[in-house]
Amino acid sequence: MTPEEVIDEIKRSGLRGRGGGGFPTGLKWELTRKVKAEQKYVVCNADEGDPGAFMDRSILEGDPHTVLEAMAINGYCTEASKGLIYIRAEYPLAIERLKIAIDQAREYGLLGDDIFGTGFSFDIELRYGAGAFVCGEETALIHSMEGLRGEPTVKPPFPSESGYKGAPTNVNNVETYASVPVILLKGADWFSSIGTEKSKGTKVFALAGKVNNVGLVEVPMGTTLREVIFDIGGGIKGGKKFKAVQTGGPSGGCLTEKHLDIPIDYDNLIASGSMMGSGGMIVMDEDDCMVSVAKFYLDFTVEESCGKCAPCRIGNKRLYEMLDTITQGKGTVEDLSKLRNLANVIKDTSLCGLGQTSPNPVLSTMDNFYDEYLAHVKDHKCPSGQCKALMSYIIKEDACVGCTLCARVCPVDAISGEKKMPHVIDQSICIKCGACFEKCKFDAIFIE
C-alpha cells in the first residue's frame, strides 16, 4: 500500500482519537504528511493521567508490539524516521515490556535502518513522564520531552505543523495506535461496521468505583451506560442504589439515572454535559455526596494546574474554596450562583484543555443534583451523610445504659455522664471522629 492508500483506509474506517478529543485519526495523519520538512516525529501519548483509568497500561503491558507497529506505519505515512513514546514513570512494568519489545523489533529488523530492504528507516525511543497530569496535553507533552517544564502553549500551531523541536509531529494516544494494525488487516469496512454513525469501532473503559465487577471492558461504541454498569459491571455493590457515573475523569461530568440509556459515543457524551475522555468510568452510589465529589475533582485540578494562566491557576483555587465552604455548612444560596458564574468564566478563558474542562464536574453536579447543593447551603445538611462538618453524633437517651465506653474512647472528652446514667455529647467539642459510634455495643449512638 502507498502512504496515501494507508491514510485513506484509516480515514474510511472512521477511527477517532482515543486520547480524549476524538479528532479523526486519518485526517491528523494527512495533515502531518502534507507539511514539508527534513525531519518529522511520531509521538505516542502514554501519559494516561486520568486517575482511575488504566487501559493504555494494559495495552502496553499486554501487546506492546501493536503500538510499535502502528507508529512505524505512521512514520511510513508521514515520512518520519523517528518515534518517541512518552510514558509515565508510574508504570515500571509497561516501561520494561516496551524496552523488551523495542529490542525484539530491532532484532527482527522491524525497526531500524532500511526495514526489510524497503529503504524506509524508523526507530523508537522512550521518554519518561514525571508525575504531571497536564503533560498529557499534547503541547505540554512535547515541552516535557524537550526537558522543559510541561506547560502548554496556544494552538495553533498544532503539533502537526510545529511540534517536537519545532518539527512536524504526529501525536496519538496508545489505544488509537493499537487500533491501526487491525484496521489495515481486516479493512476499513470491517472496522466501520462496528459502532455508531459518527463513532466507529470499540472503546475500552476502565470501570471502577461502586460496581460489583471492576476492571477493563471493551464494548462497541453505542453501547449504553446501563449495559456497561448493570450487565457487565454486575450492578451496584452491596445492592445499593445507583446514583451517578463520572466519565472523562476530572475533565468530564457526572451522568445520572436519566442518562443510562443513551448510546455511548463522543457526541452523545458531550451533549449530556460530560465527555469520553480517555475512558475512565467511575460509578457512585447513594452514599456518595455529589458536592464532595466535585470538590475532590477540583482538588485534583488545583494541584495539577500548571499555573501558566490566571483563570485556571486562581479561578480553580477559588472554586475549590467555595465548594469547601459549602461542605463545611457555611455556604449560602448566593454562593451557588457565584459558583456557576466563576465556573463558566474559567471554562471560557483558560489557555489549555485542562482549565477549559476543569469546571465540568462542578457544572454537571449542579445541573443534575441541585437539590443536594441546596440542602448543604439552606438546611446545612448533607443528604448522604458524607460531609463531616454537617453531621452530628447523638446518644439516644433510652438506649444508653451508661457503660462509659464512649466517654473513654472519645479523644477530645466531648462525652459526659455518670456511670449507669445516659451520656451526652457536647456538640461544640465533638470533632466527629466516629470512635464512640463504632465502640458503642448498644447501638445507642446515631448520626444525624
Partner 1 sequence: MADIKLPANKVQELRDICAKFNHEKGELINVLHAAQGIFGYLPAEVQDIVAEELNVSVAHVYGVVTFYSFFTMTPKGKYPISICMGTACYVRGAEKVLDEFKRLLDLKVGETSANGDFSISCLRCVGACGLAPVVTVGEKVYGRVAPEDVKGIIAEYK
Ligand X SMILES: Cc1cc2nc3c(=O)[nH]c(=O)nc-3n(C[C@H](O)[C@H](O)[C@H](O)COP(=O)(O)O)c2cc1C
| In the complex, residue closest to ligand FES by CB | 52
**Residue 165 backbone zone (phi > 0: left; psi -120 to 50: alpha; other: beta):** left
Report the residue number, 136 or 209, with the smaller CB distance to ligand X: 136
Judged by the rule CB under 8 A, the positions of this chain that interact with partner 1 are 48-54, 57, 89-91, 127-133, 144-150, 165, 206, 208-210, 214-215, 246, 249-250, 280, 282-284, 288, 293, 296-297, 300, 306
Binding to ligand SF4 in span 292-351, by CB under 6 A: 305-309, 312-313, 350-351
Amino acid at 341: N
- 266, 393, 423, 440: which one contacts ligand SF4 (CB under 6 A)? 393
Decide which of ligand FES, partner 1, ligand X, none touches 171; Cβ closer than 5 to 8 Å per partner kind: ligand X
CA distances from 170 to 72, 120, 284 (A): 12, 18, 37
Cα distance between residue 190 and residue 382, in whole Å: 51
Strand partners, 206: 216, 280
Decide which of partner 1, ligand SF4, ligand X, none touches 157; Cβ closer than 5 to 8 Å per partner kind: none
Cα distance between residue 100 and residue 346, in whole Å: 44
| All three cell numbers of 292 | 464532595
Report the residue number, 1 or 345, with the smaller CB distance to ligand SF4: 345
Cα distance between residue 304 and residue 298, in whole Å: 10
Site for ligand SF4 contains 65 (CB under 6 A): no
Report the residue number, 148 or 271, with the smaller CB distance to partner 1: 148
Site for ligand SF4 contains 436 (CB under 6 A): yes
Binding to ligand X in span 123-152, by CB under 6 A: 134, 136-138
Q: Phi then psi for 145, rounded to 5 degrees?
A: -65, -25
- 13, 32, 45, 327: which one contacts ligand X (CB under 6 A)? 45
* Residue 300 C-beta: closest distance to ligand FES, Å: 11
Decide which of ligand FES, ligand SF4, ligand X, none touches 425; Cβ closer than 5 to 8 Å per partner kind: ligand SF4
Decide which of ligand FES, partner 1, ligand SF4, none touches 431; Cβ closer than 5 to 8 Å per partner kind: ligand SF4
Strands 280-285 and 215-220: unpaired
CA angle in degrees (0–180, nearest 5) for 68-48-193: 65
Strands 123-128 and 415-416: unpaired
CA distances from 27 to 6, 31, 161 (A): 12, 6, 13
Site for ligand FES contains 402 (CB under 6 A): no
- 24, 52, 263, 417: which one contacts ligand FES (CB under 6 A)? 52
| All three cell numbers of 356 | 477549559
The half-sphere exposure of 197 on its side-chain side, counting CA atoms within 13 A, is: 2
Site for ligand X contains 171 (CB under 6 A): yes
Any idea of the CA torsion for 180, 213, 54, 351, to the nearest 10 degrees?
A: 100
Contact pattern from residue 144 through residue 173 relative to ligand SF4, giving x for each residue in contact according to CB under 6 A and a dash for the rest: --------x---------------------
Binding to ligand SF4 in span 227-266, by CB under 6 A: none
- 21, 51, 187, 417: which one contacts ligand FES (CB under 6 A)? 51
| All three cell numbers of 70 | 502502528
- 14, 19, 64, 201: which one contacts ligand X (CB under 6 A)? 19
Q: Phi then psi for 35, rounded to 5 degrees?
A: -75, 130
Report the residue number, 251 or 292, with the smaller CB distance to ligand X: 251
Decide which of ligand FES, ligand SF4, ligand X, none touches 21; Cβ closer than 5 to 8 Å per partner kind: ligand X
* Residue 232 C-beta: closest distance to ligand SF4, Å: 34
**Would you say 81 and 123 are in contact if contact means Cβ atoms under 8 Å apart?**
yes
Report the residue number, 106 or 396, with the smaller CB distance to ligand SF4: 396
**Residue 394 backbone zone (phi > 0: left; psi -120 to 50: alpha; other: beta):** beta
Rounded to the nearest 10 degrees, the angle between the axes of helix 64-78 and helix 3-13 is: 120
Decide which of ligand X, ligand FES, partner 1, none touches 436; Cβ closer than 5 to 8 Å per partner kind: none
Q: Which stretch binds ligand SF4 (CB under 6 A): 191-199, 234-242, 376-384, 428-436?
A: 428-436
Contacting residues for 270 by C-beta, under 8 A, at least 6 apart: none
Cα distance between residue 254 and residue 82, in whole Å: 40
* Residue 306 C-beta: closest distance to partner 1, Å: 8
* Residue 86 C-beta: closest distance to ligand FES, Å: 20
Using DSSP's 3-state secondary structure scheme, residue 292 falls into helix
Contact pattern from residue 343 through residue 362 relative to ligand X, giving x for each residue in contact according to CB under 6 A and a dash for the rest: ---------xxx--------
Cα distance between residue 221 and residue 327, in whole Å: 37
How many residues form the binding site for ligand FES (CB under 6 A)? 2
Rule CB under 6 A: which residues touch ligand X? 17-21, 23, 45, 47-49, 134, 136-138, 171-173, 176, 278, 352-354
Rule CB under 6 A: which residues touch ligand FES? 51-52
